[in-house]
């Protein structure tokens, strides 16, 4: 087999592996899954209020089966709350990093990652009917492979212990999901173009060598 063919086989194999990891193929949540996750949340101490459970159930029932982005705006404490596990002298960023010690491997295992992150360059420049919402420190957008993946992370009992650090670091936050969503930098498209370019370059070089010899 020629080098060009081996190159294409390797590139196709790598792309199929990446696409399989990055894409959800399980479809929308089933009724059984919805009841399973609802029972997980209801068994927490203290349990979420009924209106929160109703909102969560409606969001699960409207599942598209596709990926989505959680939009976050965050205002960090200058000094974090002194809860158990927070050491004197630690900054809010230090405390949030403890929360991410749980979140990062859970997110990566499910192909969830930030698509947008940055520090606020100013207070809110357009504010309507939102008293007290003018000051923020950070904005972010987190891509989740599916609603199922987010529910697996957030309903994990270990999440509650890590979530304490998020509460200690953030003065206030707003988070809401957008689905459907669109952006020009989907890694599946970028990687396909990159691998295609590499494969074509190798094929061209091998063909040129063949003509020369």
Q: What are phi and psi of 121, to 5 degrees?
A: -90, -10
pTM above 0.85, yes or no: yes
Parse the chain into domains and list their residue ranges: 1-25+183-213, 29-62, 67-179
Q: What is residue 208's predicted lDDT score, i.e. its pLDDT?
A: 81
Contacts (Cβ under 8 Å, ≥6 apart) of 83:
164, 165, 167, 168
Q: Using CA atoms, how far apart are residues 212 and 206, in angstroms rounded to an integer?
A: 10
Q: Among 63, 153, 52, 53, which Cα is nearest to 102's?
A: 153
Q: Using CA atoms, how far apart are residues 134 and 129, in angstroms rounded to an integer?
A: 11
Distances (CA, A) of 177 to 53, 63, 71, 166, 184: 16, 11, 6, 19, 19
For tokens 């989740």, name the residue: 144
- CATH fold group of domain 67-179: Alpha-Beta Plaits (3.30.70)
Q: Using CA atoms, how far apart are residues 85 and 152, in angstroms rounded to an integer?
A: 25
Q: What are phi and psi of 192, to 5 degrees?
A: -60, -45
Stretches in the chain below the pLDDT threshold 50:
none
**16-71 per-position pLDDT tens digit:** 999 999 999 999 999 999 999 999 999 988 889 999 999 999 999 999 999 999 99
Contacts (Cβ under 8 Å, ≥6 apart) of 195:
11, 12, 14, 15
Q: Using CA atoms, how far apart are residues 200 and 198, in angstroms rounded to an integer?
A: 6
Q: What is residue 27's predicted lDDT score, i.e. its pLDDT?
A: 97
**36-50 per-position pLDDT tens digit:** 999 999 998 888 999
Q: Using CA atoms, how far apart are residues 72 and 74, in angstroms rounded to an integer?
A: 6
């Amino acid at each position: 087999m020629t080098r060009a063919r081996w190159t294409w086989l390797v590139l196709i194999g790598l792309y199929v592996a990446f696409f399989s990891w990055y894409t959800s193929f399980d479809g929308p949540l089933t009724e059984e899954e919805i009841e399973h996750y609802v029972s997980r949340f209801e068994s927490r101490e203290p349990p979420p209020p009924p209106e929160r459970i109703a909102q969560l159930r409606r969001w699960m029932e409207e599942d598209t089966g596709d990926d989505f982005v959680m939009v976050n705006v965050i205002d960090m404490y200058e000094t974090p709350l002194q809860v158990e596990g927070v050491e004197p002298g630690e900054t809010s960023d230090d405390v949030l990093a403890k929360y991410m010690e749980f979140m990062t491997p859970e997110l990566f295992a499910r192909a969830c990652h930030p698509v947008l992150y940055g520090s606020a360059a100013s207070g809110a420049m357009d504010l309507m009917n939102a008293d007290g919402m003018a000051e923020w420190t950070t904005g972010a957008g987190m891509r989740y492979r599916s609603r199922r993946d987010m529910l697996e992370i957030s309903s994990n009992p270990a999440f509650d212990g890590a979530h304490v650090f998020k509460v200690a670091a953030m003065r206030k936050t707003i988070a809401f999901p957008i689905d459907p969503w669109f952006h020009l930098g989907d890694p599946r498209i970028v990687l396909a173009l990159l691998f295609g370019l590499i494969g074509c370059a190798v094929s061209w070089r091998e063909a040129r060598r063949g003509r020369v010899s």
